[in-house]
Amino acid sequence: MRRPGSSTPQHGHGHGHGGTWARLKHAVTPHGHDANDVVDGALESSRKGMRALWISFAALLITALGQAVLVVFTGSVALLGDTLHNFADALTAVPLAVAFLLARRAATRRFTYGLGRAEDLAGLVILAVIAASAAMAGWEAANRLVAPQRVEHLGWVAAAGLLGFVGNELVARYRIRIGREIGSAALVADGRHARTDGFTSLAVLGSAGGAALGWWWADPLVGLLITAAIVAVLWGSAKEVLARVLDAVDPELVGRAELALSATPGVRGVSGLRMRWIGHALHAEAELEVAPDLSLADAHRIAHQAEHRLCHTVPHLGAATIHTHPLTPLTRTHHELLAHHR
pTM above 0.95, yes or no: no
- Residue 65: C-alpha distances to residues 62, 85, 88, 90, 137 (Å): 5, 12, 12, 11, 20
pLDDT value of residue 77? 63
* CA distances to 78, 139, 217, 223, 279 from 144, in Å: 10, 9, 8, 9, 42
The pLDDT value recorded for residue 335 is 52
pLDDT, residue 38, reads 36
CA-to-CA distance for 39 and 43, rounded, in angstroms?
6
Q: What is the pLDDT of residue 35?
A: 35
Separation between Cα atoms, residue 123 and residue 269, nearest integer Å? 37
The amino acid at 11: H
Q: Which CATH class is domain 44-245?
A: mainly alpha
Q: What is the mean pLDDT of each run of 10 residues along the chain (342 residues)?
A: 35 40 38 38 64 85 85 71 74 80 84 84 85 80 76 78 87 87 78 80 77 75 76 83 86 88 88 84 87 86 88 83 78 49 50
CATH number, span 20-33+249-341: 3.30.70.1350
Which one, of 270, 336, 254, lies nearest residue 303 by Cα? 270
The predicted pLDDT at position 201 comes to 80
Beta carbons of 308 and 273 less than 8 angstroms apart: no
Under 8 Å between Cβ of 74 and 42: no
pLDDT computed for residue 330 by the predictor: 54
Domain range list for the chain: 20-33+249-341, 44-245
